[in-house]
Amino acid sequence: MAEKMLQFVRLQQRQPDKRDAGERSADWGEVYQAFAQEAAGAQASRCSQCGVPFCQVHCPLNNNIPDWLKLTAEGRLEEAYEVASATNTFPEICGRVCPQDRLCEGNCVIEKGFESVTIGAVEKFITDTAWEKGWVKPPMPVRERHQSIGIIGAGPAGMAAAERLRTMGYQVTLYDRHDRAGGLMIYGIPNFKLEKEVVVRRWQQYVMGGIQFRLNTSVGRDITLGELRQKHDAVLIATGVYKARDIACPGADLPGVVAALDYLIASNRKGLGDDVPEFENGALNAEGKHVVVVGGGDTAMDCVRTAVRQGAASVTCLYRRDKANMPGSMREVKNADEEGVRFEWLAAPEAFTGTDRVEGVRAQRMHLGLPDATGRQQVEPIANAGFALKADLVIKALGFDPEDLPAAFNEPALPVTRWGTLKVDHRTMMTALPGVFAAGDIVRGASLVVWGIRDGRDAAEQIHGFIQARGETPAIAAE
């Protein structure tokens, strides 16, 4: 039934039902249930169709949100999907994992007083319906072009660029060191936020659309950047950031103190049905253990909630600032809290204790002092305010930095910033090496899926412009 818009005055915000904490902690399924069509239409009709759509302005993809909300309210779902997918390569994934509270929904004009339109849930509904109905098609070039593009990294940035370039008719090969495409969408983000099937079906469509995947191929080890430049007319580097930030405190090297991504990759692999010796032998398995996770971002929240599902005896999150200053999404903090995670705010590890392996954490109480030059309050220890926690597994989730890519690729001419991210001309997205472009976290630093998609799409446009500008230069044929 077609709904009139502006219904926020009479209709309350309703998110899709969330599975009960006890039920969802016992399995790996997604937390939120799907909207039924009627509920999606009704919630979409709450949009005020405001003159300046701040949701769109604050979306990294500038998604035309008011239009697809209106189409959903009118029951015109195929058109809603057309509009949603015109600017977004993976709307069903953004609907699941974007921090909407900080982006579109956080900037909805009815947010103040009426609570925002449930944009993410409607986006997920539209695209899941499109998959069900068969409206989602593989990239289909109108004409083939003989030039080829090599993309290093099959995460959201590399996959989004591949889809755009293939649609334009280029011969596209994606190289990834992992055995599956998807990057952190497969091996970082846990199943309870993003079911793996949702990523795999996109990958399968790209294979159907003629995109070549060279998996288990680590660039720098199995093939050099120089070889890729010889082989392809342009190369895009979209390798993400993976070097875990460490903690310099006594006991940090003890067995049982592990890096967040090692832990999450093992868990995701296990869920995908792989043999994971580190999981089987208990090194990366929280079952029956007292787990302490250090950090307060989304990765930390993913670790604590994974540990709950693995059957940990207790799960504690240590974060040196307070709840209000947590970098992670408040929605995920709330979910973790409901699932039984204990939070120790304003607390930092002083030492990891134990002889042959970790047995505990000695922590220090902190307080927030004066702001520094960036305006953020400094964290300072409170004297004589330590406490101890029992821990059989400590997971360090303190963020990620880029690997040393010029060294890994043996390409000293690849310039990096002082943070180690790749330096590009921000207008053309090209590095100092002609024909070598870069996009996603490796340029931006650890960020979000939606920014990866945006950068990948932009890079595709720039690569197309670069190849077109070369005009008649003979291209190297794809293999």
Ligand X SMILES: Cc1cc2nc3c(=O)[nH]c(=O)nc-3n(C[C@H](O)[C@H](O)[C@H](O)COP(=O)(O)OP(=O)(O)OC[C@H]3O[C@@H](n4cnc5c(N)ncnc54)[C@H](O)[C@@H]3O)c2cc1C
Q: Which residues bind ligand X (CB under 6 A)?
A: 97-98, 152-158, 175-178, 183-185, 188-189, 193, 218-220, 238-240, 261, 264, 298-299, 302, 408, 440-441, 447-450, 452
Comparing CB distances to ligand X, the nearer of 74 and 123 is 123
Comparing CB distances to ligand X, the nearer of 369 and 415 is 415
CB of 153 to ligand X, least distance (A): 3
Comparing CB distances to ligand X, the nearer of 82 and 337 is 337
Residue with tokens 């059957």: 311
CB of 93 to ligand X, least distance (A): 8
Q: Please calculate the CA angle 222-223-225 and round it to the nearest 5 degrees.
A: 140
d(CA 2, CA 282): 54
Contact 291, 391 (CB under 8 A): yes
CB of 160 to ligand X, least distance (A): 8
Comparing CB distances to ligand X, the nearer of 167 and 218 is 218
CB of 77 to ligand X, least distance (A): 25
The total number of residues shown for the chain amounts to 479
Helical (H) or strand (E) element with 124: helix 119-133
CB of 268 to ligand X, least distance (A): 9
d(CA 464, CA 147): 10
Comparing CB distances to ligand X, the nearer of 70 and 454 is 454
Q: What is the 3-state secondary structure (H, E, C) of 146-198?
A: CCEEEEECCCHHHHHHHHHHHHCCCEEEEECCCCCCCCHHHHCCCCCCCCHHH
β-pairing verdict for 347-353 and 171-175: unpaired
Q: What is the DSSP letter of 321?
A: S
Q: Please calculate the CA angle 380-331-389 and round it to the nearest 5 degrees.
A: 45
β-pairing verdict for 212-214 and 171-175: parallel
CB of 363 to ligand X, least distance (A): 23
Contact 300, 317 (CB under 8 A): yes
Comparing CB distances to ligand X, the nearer of 228 and 346 is 228
Comparing CB distances to ligand X, the nearer of 7 and 447 is 447
Comparing CB distances to ligand X, the nearer of 157 and 276 is 157
Residues 6+ apart with CB under 8 A from 248: none
Contact 303, 263 (CB under 8 A): yes
- In whole angstroms, how large is the CA radius of gyration of the chain? 23
Contact 309, 28 (CB under 8 A): yes
Comparing CB distances to ligand X, the nearer of 61 and 219 is 219
Comparing CB distances to ligand X, the nearer of 172 and 448 is 448
CB of 52 to ligand X, least distance (A): 25
DSSP string for residues in 366-411: EEEEEE-TTSPEEEEEEEEEEEEEE-SEEEE---EE---HHHHTT-
Comparing CB distances to ligand X, the nearer of 170 and 175 is 175
CB of 189 to ligand X, least distance (A): 4
Comparing CB distances to ligand X, the nearer of 61 and 77 is 61
Q: What is the 3-state secondary structure (H, E, C) of 334-364?
A: HHHHHCCCEEECCEEEEEEECCCCCCEEEEE
Contact 254, 237 (CB under 8 A): no
d(CA 438, CA 96): 26
CB of 37 to ligand X, least distance (A): 26
CB environment 180-209: b (16+ within 10 A), e (fewer): bbbbbbbbbbbbbbbebebbbebbebbeeb
